[in-house]
Copies of this chain bind each other. A is one copy, B any other.
Amino acid sequence: MKIHDLATPALVVDAAGLAHNLATMAAALPGARCRPHVKAHKTTALARRQAAVGHHAFCAATPREIIGMAAAGLGDDLLLANETVNAERLRAMANTGARVTVAVDSAETVEAAAANGIREVVVDVDVGLPRCGCAPEDAGRIADLARSRGMAVRGVMGYEGHVVGNPDREWRATQTERCMALLLAAHDAVGGDVVSGGGTGTFDLNTWCTEIQAGSYTLMDTAYAKLGVPFRQALWVEATVVSVSAKGWFVADCGLKALGMDHGDPSVDAGEVLFCSDEHVTIRPGAESTPRVGDRVRVWPAHVDPTIALHERMHIADGEDVVETWEVDLRGWSA
């Protein structure tokens, strides 16, 4: 099958770009130095490629992702890098047979984990992003509470999520150092082997973590492309032109239901995106472009993670040939 034969909108992965990204990360952060974040792609077939280049520990944002990874035989070392107090989901993760570690940042999350069979935790520490994570000075207390409930404490995690997306590399470096000083102070109080954090934007700047939680590096997007990291945009949404107006625009069938929109409009090679509707993108064609109904357009998403979450599958392309199709099998929240 050729890309042109795919019904649209369709997620397409450039196999060469993906291979480049996987090899580049495996060289920079081999083996356990990278703990790939599956939230970025929600696809066990892609996680299997990450394992094939040496990364056997993964992290995830939802119990669904953890349970799906375990079911796919990728459960050597799974970290829920997020908090939950849902008893049923905690038990389901504990019962996968995989090695499952969960993040805790409060007495409530510790008690919920202990009560539902979780055996290992990391203490999630607020390093400056206004989101989850305990205060650094509370980390030791939370670790002690977890141990008192019979759980092993593997260490700490702290995500500099307010830093990873800034295009100024120097600023990212300086800020990451500040964040990690907080995380290392917490680690002193907590103990354990794991200091987990970082992302695609700081993968080579964050030299304090023992493992980097990068995910977007695999496929990238227009926002991450501005950071100057050595990864290629390897995912687009293939669309078909369905209407051409003499008034100076054309329309393709990839709308905001096929795109994560929180980082804004996508980009196209053939012109300027004017706006997205539910099932349409309206484009002003470039000077060289004479779009016709039935033509194909590659739509480059601004944010890869939520874009993939909207699709049932992704197609892997070697040039114009579709060589594999992978189910986006970790979508949604149900077990």
Contacts and interface: CB of A to CB of B under 8 A. Distances in A.
A151 to B, nearest CB: 17
Range, interface on chain A: 35 or more
Number of copies: 2
B282 A131 contact: yes
A332 interface: yes
B279 A82 contact: yes
A253 B132 CA distance: 10
A84 B242 CA distance: 6
A7 B161 contact: no
A63 to B, nearest CB: 9
A251 B293 contact: no
A243 B333 contact: no
Contacts of A333: 7-10, 258
Contacts of A277: 131, 161
A124 B62 CA distance: 43
Nearest to A106: B293
Interface in A296-326: 305-306, 309-312
Closest 8 CB pairs of A and B: A108-B293, A132-B243, A261-B262, A83-B242, A61-B279, A256-B262, A257-B309, A261-B261
